[in-house]
Chains A and B, each alone.
Chain A
Amino acid sequence: MEFFAEHGICLCAGAAWLDVAMVVVLCALILAGYPVAFSLAGVALIFAVVGLSFGVFDISFLQPFPQRVHGAVMNTTLIAVPMFILMGVILEKSKIAEELLDEMAKLFGSLRGGLGISVTIVGALLAASTGIVGATVVTMGLLSLPTMLRRGYDPAFASGSIAAAGTLGQIIPPSIVLILLGDVISNAYQKAQLEQGVFAPETISVGDLFAGALFPGLMLVGLYLLYQVFTAAFQPAKAPAIPADELGSRKEVWAVAMKTLPPPLLLIVAVLGSILAGAATPTEAASVGAIGALLIAGARRAPAEGGLAAKAPVYGATAALFILVALTSFLDLRLGRTDVSAADQAGVMLAALCCVAVAVGVAASLFRLAKDNALTAITDQTVRVTTMVFAILIGAAMFSLVFRGLGGEETVQAALEAIPGGLVGAVIGVMAIMFLLGFFLDFIEITFVVVPLVAPALLKMGVDPVWLGVMMAINLQTSFLTPPFGFALFYLRGVAPDTVKTADIYRGAIPFIGLQIAALAALTAFPAIATWLPGVLYD
């Protein structure tokens, strides 16, 4: 990287190369380890000053900056981000994730490869609820890796399964990065169409991207499971079964599983379903998810000795929610009408009662969490993660303003058009660059910095926006799994016991990288895997 930095500085001699130099210097300086959000803005400002002194940059390019920040505040889609983070943090802090993993392991443990399968399934579920790679990998690494090793799993197979399952968080909706990516791609799509002279541009929404990512995500889960089943079948030594008598009776296991599994599952289905059905915006669904998570946590945290009475408010609230949904679908409860039938009137009364019950349940859950000192920890972490995400958005806004001022957009477009092979070449080129950037930038940074630069040019060339978004997501997910720099591997290394060698982790990831590449190839050959569902749902 030093070499590139020197190279970048050499290139500064020609002021026309300032935009390229800016990106190269950013890549070099970002490795120093100062927070990315401010490195982005700082590097941009240094190059703005250099550009000013060369007379190739106009200071007025910086003036829209406050407007950009205000835009991030007013963006109604992005409001979903803090609420999804809240939902994920509640599920994590109230140990619901741990319980899920535990129960799954008991359910599948008696099969060969069963622990690996349970890790993949829980990874997909957790993913859907939090969408933060680091959190998922760390949680599962801490909880499952020791168990898998103790049960005689091959360290490489076990760590590969965990790292891969952790990255599923990005591709399976409703993930936070898909929301951010959806917002960025929809802006890029509008811009591309306006530049082509389409003044009534088509739009794509976060819902489109969620729908597009659903089947590819499930396909990946399927591929992972197939690989694990095959490994267990043909190399039983790598993934032995837990002797059935150690797990307790099947009946008990099922009884406990039936109690712990449905609530989080129901929550995820409700959130995702309402977005995909077009009934709710991601923001609305996220608030429902956060309140649902709060209720689940309230029920889990209720003292055991209190029995049913301690959980009554939460159960009451849950029941009330179901009644509300049922009432709304059978009766017309809208207020402010003139002639209201008796049935509707009774319905409104009942609905109002239900609302009170929900409020009581939510209040009880909040009280419960506050009493356990968990509420501050939850809000604290939510605030910090949210701020981290938006700080990068703000820093990237500064970066892109300066980059544009230095003529970067034209450079990117010219470069993409110059890649041999036309559209295919350009897509391959962009994917390769993003793959490499994925070694040292997280998904959020790439979404805010790289995607706005390359997406308009690609979309103008006629790429389908949903397909492009899904390809980018899977591509980055692969990058995070690839040794030696993959993020997921780093996180896992951080929590894995010393008996697991780094080489084991690297070796274990390789088969999963193969599966990822297979998925990318399948998507390239059959784009309909991504584009079919949004087409059916929204057209």
Chain B
Amino acid sequence: MTLSLTGADLFAMGLVCLAAILLLPFAALFDRRAALVWLLAIIDVFLGGYAFSMAAVDLSEPTLNPWALGAVLVVVGGGVAFGVQRVTDHLSASFEKIANGAGKAVFAFVILMALIQFSVVVLRYVFGVNSIAIQESVTYLHGAVFLLAAGYTLLSNDHVRVDIFYGSASPKRRAHIDFLGTYFFLFPFCLITLWAAAPYVANSWSVREGSTEQSGIQGIFLLKTLIPLFALLLTAAGFTAATRAAGVLRELDNAPNEPHGTALDEAGSDRA
């Protein structure tokens, strides 16, 4: 192995780091057995990395290199050094801010879309003026709305659920569903989206892809960049959702046996 750093290595490093970070709420859940969990986590990261390296078509030998290993070690070391739960809570709070911030940023876009589209209608039907660039700007706003607000919508719990059973489930069962769903459904989806979008967006950037129309907005590559952003924001929101669910589970687990000693129990013994 050589120690040269290519773009593919950087990308792999990022992905593996992300995967490692995503395991934090999981680790925080089992505070007492953290060592075992971390061992599992590391195995999982390597397996995941291996799967990625098998799957990646445009990225040659991306994962099993010293850089990625180093990145994982930094994340793992950081987690161990500063306390898994503390790191998780801090990250969760900042991720929540990021996801919600992106969601709130697009509030104005829906009104703007209607106003611009209405102006297009008036210009076209009354004055016979057509502007491709103005029409395309509506498309940009449209894409930004649902791609940037996906994480926010997850945290505000507005993605449709089938609540025949969920609606009447206990808080503990709900937390279990949210927690497992985040790991088995949401995170794999986000990671695969990042993996699939990387070459797609990279190609678009390399030619600075623009509109198919001469007078359109020459920023399709920026519009396409929203796709990995969508996955990242959703990941951030998923991290927060998993941390919340883990918090609920920990609280419920610890509630009955207050006197024994984890961090949350100490808070409990204050009450007693």
Size range of the chain A interface in the assembly: 35 or more
Indicate whether A351 sits within 8 Å of B126 (C-beta atoms), given known contacts A66-B193, A388-B159. Answer: yes
Query: How far is B184's CA from A35's CA once the two chains are assembled, in angstroms?
Result: 12
B-facing residues in A328-342 (Cβ within 8 Å): 328, 333-336
Which residue of B is nearest A494, CB measured? B167
Selecting from B61-69, B78-86, B143-151, the interface stretch reads: B143-151
Please tell me if the beta carbons of B192 and A45 are within 8 angstroms of each other in the complex: yes
**Interfacial residues of chain A within 451-475, with CB under 8 A of chain B in the complex:** none
Do B115 and A36 touch (CB < 8 A)? Answer: no
Confirm or deny: B197 has a beta carbon within 8 angstroms of a beta carbon on chain A. Answer: yes
Q: Mark A168-208, 1 if CB is under 8 A from B, else 0.
A: 00000000000000000000000000000000000000000
Q: Is B207 positioned at the interface, with any CB of A under 8 Å from its CB?
A: no
Interface residue stretch chosen among B87-95, B222-230, B247-255: B222-230
Q: Does A101 contact B (CB under 8 A)?
A: no
Restricting to B176-215, which residues have a CB under 8 Å from any CB of A? 177-178, 180-181, 184-186, 188-189, 192-193, 196-197, 200-201
Query: How far is the CB of A293 from the nearest CB of chain B, in Å?
Result: 9
A249 within 8 A of B: no
1/0 contact string of A255-289 vs chain B (CB within 8 Å): 00000000000000000000000011001101110
Q: Is A478 an interface residue (CB 8 A)?
A: no
- Find chain A residues with CB under 8 A from B192 CB: 45, 62, 65, 398
CB-CB under 8 A from A392, the residues of chain B are 160
- A53-74 CB contact bits vs B (8 Å, 1 = yes)? 0000001101101110110011
| Interface size class of chain B, counting residues whose CB lies under 8 Å from the partner chain | 35 or more
Residues of A within 8 A of B200 (CB): 63, 66-67
**Are B169 and A291 neighbours in the complex by a CB distance under 8 Å?**
no
Q: Which of B3-11, B29-37, B102-110 contacts A (4 or more CB under 8 A)?
A: B102-110
| Most chain A CB atoms below 10 A, which of B115, B159, B163, B178 | B159
Which of A35, A284, A288, A333 sits near B160, CB closer than 8 Å? A35
| B172, CB-defined interface residue at 8 Å | no
Interface window among A104-112, A156-164, A211-219, A437-445: A437-445
Report Cα–Cα, A376/B110, bound state, in Å.
Answer: 11
B156 within 8 A of A: yes
B159 touches A35 (CB 8 A): yes
Are the C-beta atoms of B158 and A388 separated by less than 8 Å?
yes
The yes or no answer to B128 lying at the interface (CB within 8 A) is yes
Knowing A42-B188, A82-B145, A383-B110, the reply to whether A287 touches B121 (Cβ < 8 A) is: yes
Q: In the complex, which residue of chain B has the Cβ closest to the Cβ of A355?
A: B122
Chain B positions 156-171 with a Cβ under 8 Å from a chain A Cβ: 156, 158-167, 169
Shortest Cβ gap from A250 to chain B (Å): 39
A39 smallest CB distance to B (angstroms): 6
**Contact call A39/B185, Cβ cutoff below 8 A:** yes
A457 shortest CB reach to chain B, Å: 26
Q: Which of A135-166 contact B (CB under 8 A)?
A: none
| Interface check B42, CB cutoff 8 A | no
The digit string for B92-131, where 1 denotes a CB below 8 A from any CB of A, is 0000000000010011111101110110111001111100
Whether A287 contacts B114 by the Cβ 8 Å rule is yes
Q: How far is the CA of A288 from the CA of B113 in the complex (A)?
A: 11
CB-based nearest B residue for A324: B126
- Whether B21 is near chain A, meaning CB under 8 Å from some CB there, is no
Closest 10 CB pairs of A and B: A33-B166, A42-B185, A334-B128, A34-B181, A287-B117, A73-B143, A35-B159, A390-B146, A290-B114, A41-B189
14 contacts between A and B (CB under 8 A): A33-B161, A35-B159, A41-B188, A60-B57, A66-B200, A70-B224, A73-B143, A79-B117, A286-B114, A290-B114, A291-B114, A291-B118, A366-B111, A376-B107
